[in-house]
A and B are shown apart, each in its own frame.
Chain A
Amino acid sequence: MGSSTRRLDIEEIGDVTIARFIDRKILDENNIQVIGNQLFSLIDEEGRTKIVLDFSNVEYLSSAALGKLITMEKKVKAAKGKLRLCCIRPEIYEVFNITKLNRLFKIYEDQERALEGF
Chain B
Amino acid sequence: MGWIDQFEVHIPSSTTEGQKVQERIISRLEAIGFPPRGIFGVRLALEEALVNAIKHGNGLDPNKSVFVACQISEEKVRVVIEDEGAGFSLQDVPDPTDDENLEKPCGRGIMLMRAFLSLVEYNERGNRVVLEKHRNDDAAPSLS
Secondary structure class of chain B's binding surface, majority of residues: helix
Q: Does B80 reach chain A (CB closer than 8 Å)?
A: no
A-B contact count (CB 8 A): 66
A74 to B104, alpha carbons, bound, how many Å?
10
Total interface residues on B, CB under 8 Å, equals 28
Q: Are A100's CB and B102's CB within 8 A?
A: yes
Interchain nearest-CB distance for A39 vs B (Å) = 13
Interchain nearest-CB distance for A20 vs B (Å) = 21
Which of B1-9, B39-47, B84-92 contacts its partner?
B39-47
Within 8 A of B (CB), among A84-118: 91, 94-95, 97-101, 103-104
A91 to B55, alpha carbons, bound, how many Å?
26
Secondary structure class of chain A's binding surface, majority of residues: helix
- Residue in A27, A70, A98 whose CB lies within 8 Å of B47: A27
Chain A positions within 8 Å of B111 at CB level: 98-99
Q: Does A82 reach chain B (CB closer than 8 Å)?
A: no
Q: Does B51 reach chain A (CB closer than 8 Å)?
A: yes
- Residue in A60, A99, A104 whose CB lies within 8 Å of B43: A60
Task: Give me the interface of B with A, judged by CB distance under 8 Å.
Answer: 15-16, 19, 22, 37, 40, 43-44, 47-48, 51, 55, 96-97, 102-109, 111-112, 115, 140-141, 143
23 cross-chain CB contacts under 8 A: A27-B22, A27-B47, A29-B15, A29-B51, A30-B16, A60-B40, A60-B44, A62-B109, A63-B107, A63-B112, A66-B108, A67-B108, A70-B105, A74-B103, A91-B40, A94-B140, A95-B112, A97-B143, A98-B111, A98-B115, A99-B108, A103-B102, A104-B102
